Amino acid sequence: MLMRHAIAEDRSDTGRDHDRRLTGEGKRKLREVVAGMRALELPIERVVSSPLRRAVETAEIVAAGFELDDAVVVASAFAPGAGPDAALAALADVGRPRGLVLVGHEPDLAMLASTLLTGTPGLVHMGFRKAGLAGFVVATLPPRSAGALEFFLTPGQLRRIGAGG
C-alpha cells in the first residue's frame, strides 16, 4: 500500500522542509483514517517511511493503530526525489510481509504507483491526497511484473468507513 503523509505544518521551527511536523488536525484526521483502515481489515504487518519528519510521524501513527511491535522502518529511498527505481530496490530489504504500507510524498508516490502498475513512471497519474491510500497486489517484492490496483481511497472515504458510515 502507498500512503501520502498526513497534514503537516507549512513551515518548521528550523525552516527546513525535512523538519515539518504533522499538525494537530493532521494527527486527528490520520487516526480516523487508520480507524477506516482497521475497519477494512487491511493485513498490515510492516510500515516503511520516508525519512522526513511528517512521513515518519504518519508511519508511527499507522503502526500504533495496527499494534505493530516493530519500529517503523525509515528508508532514504522513499525521500522526495529518490525515484521509483530506488524505492523498488529498497523493497528487496523489506522481507515478505503480507501487508506493507509505504509512507511518502507527492509526486513520488504517483510515479511509484504508475511503475507498479505499468512498469513506467508517469504513464498513469494517481494524485494522492494527504493521508490518501492506494493498495496494490504484486507477486514479488521488488515487483518483476505489473501489479494490480486493489483500491484507491481518499482520506475522507477512509474516515467515513472508520466512523461506520
Rounded CA gap, 62 and 40, in Å? 14
What average pLDDT does the segment 95-109 reach?
Answer: 90
- Identify the band that residue 165 occupies on the pLDDT scale cut at 50, 70 and 90: low
CA distance 37 to 84: 25
- Say how far apart CA 17 and CA 11 lie, in whole Å: 7
Range of the domain at 90: 2-162
Report yes or no: 55 and 49 within 8 Å, Cβ to Cβ: yes
> What confidence score (pLDDT) does residue 139 get?
82
C-alpha cell at 79: 525521500
Average pLDDT over residues 138-146: 78
The pLDDT value recorded for residue 55 is 98
Residue 69 predicted with pLDDT over 90: no
CA dist 137 and 159 (Å) reads 23
- Greatest Cα pair distance, the chain, in angstroms, is 43
For the chain, what percent of residues have pLDDT higher than 70?
A: 98
pLDDT (average), residues 33-50: 96
Comparison of pLDDT for 165 and 121, the residue scoring more:
121
Over range 16-25, report the average pLDDT: 97
Query: Any idea what the CATH number is for the domain that residue 55 is in?
Result: 3.40.50.1240
Residue 135 has pLDDT above 90, yes or no: yes
Segment 38-47 shows an average pLDDT of: 95
Q: What is the pTM of this model?
A: 0.94
**For the chain, what is the domain count?**
1
Mean pLDDT of 34-38: 98
User: What is the average pLDDT across 139-145?
Assistant: 76
Q: Please report the sign of the dihedral spanned by the C-alpha atoms of residue 29, residue 52, residue 133, residue 7.
A: positive
Q: Residue 128's pLDDT band (boundaries 50, 70, 90)?
A: very high
